[in-house]
Structure formats: C-alpha cells, structure tokens
Chains A and B, each alone.
Chain A
Amino acid sequence: MKVRFWGVRGSIPVPGPRTNRYGGNTSCVAVRSPGGTDVVLDAGTGLRKLGQELMQRGFGEGKGEAHLLISHTHWDHIQGLPFFAPLHKAGNQFCVYARERAGTPLRSVIATQYDDPYFAVPFDAVKADVDFRELGDGARFELGDVRVSSARLNHPWIATAYRLDSGPASSPASMVYATDTAPFRDILFGEAVAAPPASGAALPAVDVARLGELRASLIDLCRGAQVLVHDAQFTDAEYRERPHWGHSTPDDAIDIALAAGVKTLVLFHHAPERGDDELDLVLAAARARAAGSGLEVLAAHEGLEFDLAERA
C-alpha cells in the first residue's frame, strides 16, 4: 500500500511561512492498495490538493472510485470536501464511511456543509455518485483488496480509528490511522459536551473500566501494524491545561505503539500554533523517548509518502 500525507494539522488550517515545511492543511491521508483501491482517510483541507492530483488520473474522466473513511465529522476532518474537484465530475463514485449517530444521518451532516447559507453549491448538485455507510463501533469490512477494521477512540463526540490491511500473507501491509483521541486515563468522552474534570476527583470505577476496554481495543487494532498514524497534538503542559479537548501527547502515542508492537509511529494532527522549528523539537524529544525500543518515530508532513511494501 502506498501512503501519502496531504494534511497533517489539527483544529484549523494554518497558512504562513512558519508552517511551510510540515504544512498547514488539516487532516487528510491518501492510501492506494496494490490492487488499485483508493482509500482516503479524513477530508480536511489537504483534500483539495489530493483532488487536483486525482483529476490527473481516471477521476478527471469521471472514471474514478474512492472510499472516504472519516474519523469523525468535526470541521478539520471534513472541511475540504466542498473543494474536492472529483466530486464535481459526473461518473466518479465515492462512498463516505463514518460512525453511526442516533438521529443524525451521516448524509445530512455532510450535506449541511454544502447547503445555504454556508456554501454556494448544494450537495444535491454534486455530480459524482456519493454513497454513505454508517458504521457501528468495531466495524470490519472489505474495500476491494483492502481489509478495514476499526475501534472507538476517546474524543468529544467520539472518533473512529481505522486499520487497513492488504497484500498476500507473504508480504502483508498494514497501517492504523488513529486520530483524534485523548489518552485513556483522565476522562471518558461520549457524545455529550465534555467539561474539564474536577480537580483531584477520582474517576468513577465504571469509567475507569470502560477506558481500560477502549485502550485495549485500540492496542488490539494496532497489534503488529507496520505503521501507526496517531494524534500527537499536545505538549504535556497543553494536555494538563486542556484534558477535555480530547487529544494526545507524543508520549501517549508512543505508549500505544509500544504496547501494540508497531514498527513505525507517525506523529499526526499537529497543533495549529506549532511552527516548523517547534515540531522539529517535538520529533527529536519523541525519538529520544523511544530510543532503544526499536520503534521508529516520524512526524507527519505534507508530501510524506511511503510504500508499506518497502517497509515490511
């Protein structure tokens, strides 16, 4: 599987010279399987330039097909969709996947982004065929030659981690995309608004148990994967200030990667205020922390690409 990062940023796009090297676009990663299955992980603003590239391929002739796996529908994970050129070409086929929500059809969540008064082109005017599939927690399914499995993450409104497996048993390729999530320790997030935890108060035992289950299910999902792309938005100090925002530190990401025996960890969903030089330091510190463990640590940047077949 070939993987390319088109947007690596969390919360909001951050243009400007301070983000030239890592990139200022919000979350979007493209994966292409050996069998030619196109999978797109999240639809942040990075999707715009991915769309321009896809238009140079079959999508420009209305003969493209891709699957969009959405971690959750917060803005920074869907705001590129209205500017995704292949959607406006008749004949292209897309399927959008995201977690099922009681009373909130996925199609209406996406369509509202297009409709008046927020955007000029109503979703009904999109020319490509777009299908929607709502997923239960832990859903597993196949997309061509790609096997998808998933786990629930710990984030306000709840996000979904996806694992993609492909290739023959002799040279399997596997990666996990796990953003956005807090560590499984201080707050159990649900669909309600999260408030900061009362200082010093112990978590209810039922929440502790549930967090333990969620952590175990994420580690199971990541078990033995070649690559884990994981939320690493916060520094330790930022996490202490905003534990109710639902994001991790690089140490939290390393913790999951080591527990699951992952080969390579890619730090992802960088804070919007983090400039390139600061991100260099974040990466150096994470590498120092993982030194001796055998875990390779990278920091995602726009344009980062690799072929999992070459990393086996």
Chain B
Amino acid sequence: MRVTFHGVRGSIPAPGPETNRYGGNTSCVSVRGAGGELVILDMGTGLVGLGKELMAQEFGRGAGAATVLLSHAHWDHIQGFPFFAPAFVPGNSFRVHGMARSSSLLEGILEGQMNPSYSPISSLRNLGATIELVAVTTGMPFDLGGGISVCAALNPHGSTAALAFRIEQAGRSVVYAPDVGYPDGGPSAEVLALYRGADLLIHDCTYTPADRAERRTRGYSSYADAADAAARAGVAQLAMFHYDQDYGDDVVDELARACRAELDHRGATACTLTAAREGMTLEV
C-alpha cells in the first residue's frame, strides 16, 4: 500500500509561511492498494489537492471509484468535500463510511454541510458523482474489494468520539487514528487490538504534553500519548499527524525530536518515527 498525506493539520487550515514545510491543510490521507484501489481517509482541505491530481486520471473521465473512510464529521475532516472536483463528474462513484447511528443520518450530516445557507451546492444531489453513505459498525471488518479489509474502533474525542480505522491488504496494515484524547489509562483494549503490530500507525499528535494538559477537554493527543500508544501496540512505524493550527514548522520539528525520545524511553527503539507532512508518501 502507498500512503500519501494531503493535509496533516487539525482544527482549521493554517496558511502562512510558518506552515510551508509541514503544510497548513486539514486532515486528508490517501491509500493506494496494490491493485490501484483508492481509499481516502477524511476530507479536510487536503482533499482539494488530491482531487486535482485525481482529475488527471480516470476520475477526470467519470470512470473513477473510491472509498472514503470518515473518522467523524468535525469541520476539519469534511470541509474539503464541497471543493473535491471528482465529486462533480457524473460517472464517478464514492462510498463514504462514517460514524453515525444509521446511513441516512450520515447522509443528513453531509447534506447539512451543503445546505444553501452555507454552500451554493445546496444538496448532495447536485453533485454529479454517485455518493453512497454507509454507517460503520465498529469491530465488524468489511471488505472493499481487491483483498482490502477495513476494521474500525471508537476512540474518545472530547465531548464526542471519532473512529480509528485499520486497513489491511496482503498481510500489510495501515492504521489511521486522528483526533483522540485517551483517558488516564490510555487506549482501550479494543483500540489497542486495532493498532496491534501495524506496519504504519498514523496517530493524532496535536499537542505538546503541556498544551494537552491545559486543553484536556478538547480530546486530542500529545506526542507522548502517540508514542505510548505506538509502543504499547508494537507498531513498526508511527506517523505523527493533526498538528495544532498555531504550531509553526519549527515547533513540529521539536515535537518530532521529543516524540522520538518518548518512544526510546518506552523501549520502542525499533519503531520508525515520521512527522507527516503534505506531499509525503510512505510505502507500506
């Protein structure tokens, strides 16, 4: 699998020279399977750039299909959707798996984003592509075709929750866990099982431990929380993700150094550490 980061920022896009290196777009990651299958993780503003790239391929001809795995519907995870060019091309199809009690409620959430008060698109029905909404059942693996299987678990995220996804193909595994604020005991057993032994864990790394302590109720992780989860689950590689909008590139450099030290301190010296940045591709 080929994993590419299109947006690595949390909460709100952060334009400006201070974010040039890591990037200021909100959460969006793509995973290309060995057979060319496309899985899109979240639809923050990073989705806009991915959409432009896709238009040069089969999506430009209305012959594209992709799966979207939506961790939750906070703005920074859906705000790229109305500007995703392939969604406007008839013939393309997208199946969006997200967190809701039912598929029609999930549709209502994305429909609300397009409401005429907020967007000239007015309704999902005005998008040319076929959009299918599916409510995720946690703990129940589902198949995307091409030998790709996905399993989801629920993580606490402030006053709400967010899904973490494990994507497997041909014995390789990528886990995507944005937006999580663990209780004092750390990840639940179910979540640790989802992370266990992953080749790549993309994990929330919004804060320094000091900022996290001050903003605990917001439901995000510090680099220490990310390192702890990675060490406990025995993952091969940890990618730091979802940086706070006020952290410039130099701060993220510092987070990465400190996160390495946390991993080593926990005995996870063999775990590779990567600070995700826009445009970066990792082969799994």
CB proximity of B147 to chain A, nearest CB, Å? 32
Is A275 located at the chain interface by the 8 A CB criterion? no
Query: Is there an interface contact between B16 and A23, defined as CB atoms closer than 8 Å?
Result: yes
Query: Is there an interface contact between A17 and B219, defined as CB atoms closer than 8 Å?
Result: no
State the main secondary structure of chain B at its contact with A. loop
What total of A-B pairs shows CB separation below 8 Å? 119
Interface flags, A225-241, vs B, CB<8A=1, else 0? 00000000000000000
Select which of B13, B72, B218, B219 is within 8 A of A24 by beta carbon: B13
Query: Is there an interface contact between B15 and A75, defined as CB atoms closer than 8 Å?
Result: no
Query: Is there an interface contact between B73 and A12, defined as CB atoms closer than 8 Å?
Result: no
Query: Is there an interface contact between A83 and B120, defined as CB atoms closer than 8 Å?
Result: no
Q: How far is the CA of A120 from the CA of B76 in the complex (A)?
A: 11
Query: Is there an interface contact between A117 and B109, defined as CB atoms closer than 8 Å?
Result: yes
Q: In B12-43, which residues have CB < 8 Å from any A CB? A: 12-17, 19-20, 23-25
State the main secondary structure of chain A at its contact with B. loop
Q: In B102-116, which residues have CB < 8 Å from any A CB? A: 109, 112-113, 116
Q: How large is the interface on A (under 10, 10 to 19, 20 to 34, 35 or more residues)?
A: 35 or more
Q: In A144-166, which residues have CB < 8 Å from any B CB? A: 156-157
Query: Is there an interface contact between B15 and A25, defined as CB atoms closer than 8 Å?
Result: yes
Query: Is there an interface contact between B117 and A157, defined as CB atoms closer than 8 Å?
Result: yes
CB proximity of B3 to chain A, nearest CB, Å? 20
Select which of B79, B117, B219 is within 8 A of A120 by beta carbon: B219
Contacts of A193 in B (CB 8 A): 116, 120, 122-123, 126
Query: Is there an interface contact between B218 and A16, defined as CB atoms closer than 8 Å?
Result: no
Q: How far is the CA of A112 from the CA of B117 in the complex (A)?
A: 11
Q: Assuming A25-B13, A79-B75, A120-B74, what are 16 further A-B pairs, CB within 8 angstroms?
A: A13-B15, A13-B45, A15-B9, A15-B16, A15-B19, A15-B24, A16-B15, A24-B13, A25-B15, A79-B79, A80-B12, A101-B117, A109-B117, A117-B109, A117-B160, A194-B120
Q: 15 A-B pairs, CB-CB below 8 angstroms? A: A13-B45, A15-B15, A17-B17, A45-B15, A75-B119, A79-B75, A113-B75, A113-B118, A117-B72, A117-B99, A117-B160, A118-B73, A119-B74, A120-B219, A193-B116
Closest 6 CB pairs of A and B: A15-B24, A24-B15, A13-B13, A15-B15, A156-B120, A117-B73
